[in-house]
Amino acid sequence: MSGIALIFHRDASPSDPDSLMRMMSASPDRARDGAGQFTSGPVDLGHQMLHTTLESIAESQPFVDRPSGLCISMDGRVDNRAELVRDVNQHPEAGDAELVLRCYQRWGPACAHRIVGDFAFAIWDPRERRVFLVRDAMGIKPLYYYADSRIFLAASELTQIVAHPGVSPCVNEALAAEYLACAMTGAEETLYRGIYRLPPAHSLTVTAAGLIKRRYFDIDAAKTIRYQRDEDYSDHFLEIFSEAVRCRLRSQTAAGVFLSGGVDSSSVAGVACRLRKPLDAFSMVFPGEACDESAFIGDMVVKSGVRSHTAGASGKNAAEYLAQVRRFNDFPDYPNGAMSNSLSQVALQKECRVILTGLGGDEWLMGSHYGYADLLKRLKVRSLARKLRANARAGGGRFSWRTLLRFGLWPLLPKSAQTIAGGFLDRNRIPSWIDARFAARTGLAERLRQDTPTPPFPTLAQKDLYSVYASGWRVHALEMEERSASSFGMEQRHPFSDRRLLEFALALPEDQRWRDDRTKFVLRQAMRPILPESIRERRSKAEFSSVFLKAFQRNGGAHSFENLPIAAAGWVDQREVERKYRRMENEHRSGSLGYTRHTCPLWMVFGINLWFDAVVSRNAVGGP
């Protein structure tokens, strides 16, 4: 992962290369292959380089076009290079940053929509006296910013903004409340007031007069894909998916894949093996644990011929989580995300800087329970009954009236009736472990009631899938993955999180995503010749609640929730948190431990408490 750092003196004061260096020094892992700075008038622009493509080896950033004075710092990869090279008459071997700058020279800010790939970039335009920033449509590459009347700052990491001497960070209690409620309603706020993330698919134009944020890409809700045969859908999907994998195999070193044994990562590995051999696959194993997927991994290794490398889970201890919070000035890793550290170390030993993952398959292809409401709305009662029976079989024969009410009837109720139904379904209630006064002060109830604005899709299922794309949770998860990879000098790439694949998936009829008891139907059809049947027809998923429990036990168990600083600050109810931990342990002993009921909320309490104690309390970060 490369890195960006920028200072723009909006008040026309002179450049400040020392402060820029301070920002870049806050993220040393991003400069594995060097760093560069550009200073001109009111602008300081920095770049930290990690070579991940052949073109990047000869690339020098920040890249400056001497005749115009334009300068760019870019983290990322352009996937439609051939098209853009032709359109801007550029040399085919030019680096991606130079290619993007040429696009800006030709189309100005409108260039953002034309670029396909995973990227974040900042351009200084001296003639217009403006800074132009863009984050890719899927939000794979992070970009944070801060602005006041004097300066504008942008960087690849939150901690770089905090490191600038002109920033006095203040805690954003409202977002902390959302973390504690396991709900992130937006994709812009951070744990510090005044420091923001640029949302996916947005550009930001900054001048002395102000900031203008624009969405440059969105899903076309009117687009539909309709074929006569299932084979036509699966063939079309395989064409797009193969191109997404091919683009992400573009690497100056060997590229590998994280192989879990699930349908998504196995599909990535299978298609990647068809495009490039030999291919290294890296897998976590949990001998004796319910979440161990070694048998599926073994089936995929035999079917595809990948070179398999495995690692056992090695979780972080309290000191490591604390060091991470201080390093990033942010929330710590999740235990199941921290496990990839072991795999990253193995991958580095094999000289793999680029790793492909299966992230994104669940989001776009799993289907939506709101399909119940769509069937009811169209009076497709028999189809609904078949779907309910199939889903009951998939769930072990259990039918849930609550699920039908929540996803079938509730979306069709008038707004006036949804408040009553919402109370019955426990929607948007303040969690019991959050202090009621803190919730009131932060407006948590109002935040939880916020609906994600969606384009006018014809079905509720499509609107639901779009809300996942637009959710703050998804952006947060991607940034945590990116942050983890960057600390190892690696880059994760996610073929399922490809803008073109997202557009295709949301244009499909629902029964291509979810048919009877089979989710990801179109993917399973497309993978017939590629996956072993044990994986292609797999209905189960590994469940990692026990990994979280072990992380708690490794960090003191119940003692880690005693005398919480965030309880003393009035954020959470100490007794309720302790009760919740005891319930989690009881569920584990009875074999019914679930992620959403106790494990996730407790990890959010653990993480926010660690951040509050290490960053807020002890470093005099300002309060509200």
Q: Is the pLDDT of residue 426 over 60?
A: no
pLDDT single digits (tens) 496-538: 999 999 999 999 999 999 998 889 999 999 999 999 999 999 9
pLDDT, greater one: 598 or 31 = 31
pLDDT single digits (tens) 475-491: 999 999 999 999 999 99
The β-bridge partners of 39 are: 44
pTM score above 0.85? yes
Residue pair 141/30 in contact (Cβ under 8 Å)? The answer is no
Tell me the backbone φ, ψ of residue 183, rounded to 5 degrees.
Answer: -145, 120
Pairing relationship of beta strands 3-9 and 491-493 according to DSSP bridges = unpaired
Give the whole-angstrom CA distance, residue 44 versus residue 124: 9
pLDDT at 594: 66
Q: Identify whether 278 is preceded by a cis peptide bond (ω within 30 of 0).
A: yes
The tally of CA atoms less than 13 A away on the side-chain side of residue 11 is 7
Q: Is the pLDDT of residue 265 over 90?
A: yes
Inter-axis angle of helices 263-275 and 230-248, nearest 10: 70
- What is the percent of the chain with per-residue pLDDT over 70, rounded to a whole number? 95
The tally of CA atoms less than 13 A away on the side-chain side of residue 248 is 30
Give the whole-angstrom CA distance, residue 482 versus residue 3: 11
Confidence of residue 624 (pLDDT cuts 50, 70, 90): low
pLDDT single digits (tens) 84-120: 999 999 998 999 999 999 999 999 999 999 999 999 9
pLDDT at 344: 86
Residue pair 547/339 in contact (Cβ under 8 Å)? The answer is yes
Q: Is the pLDDT of residue 574 over 80?
A: yes
Encode 218-229: b = buried (16+ Cβ within 10 Å), e = exposed. Answer: ebebeeebeeee
The β-bridge partners of 311 are: 284
Inter-axis angle of helices 545-554 and 600-611, nearest 10: 40
Confidence of residue 421 (pLDDT cuts 50, 70, 90): low
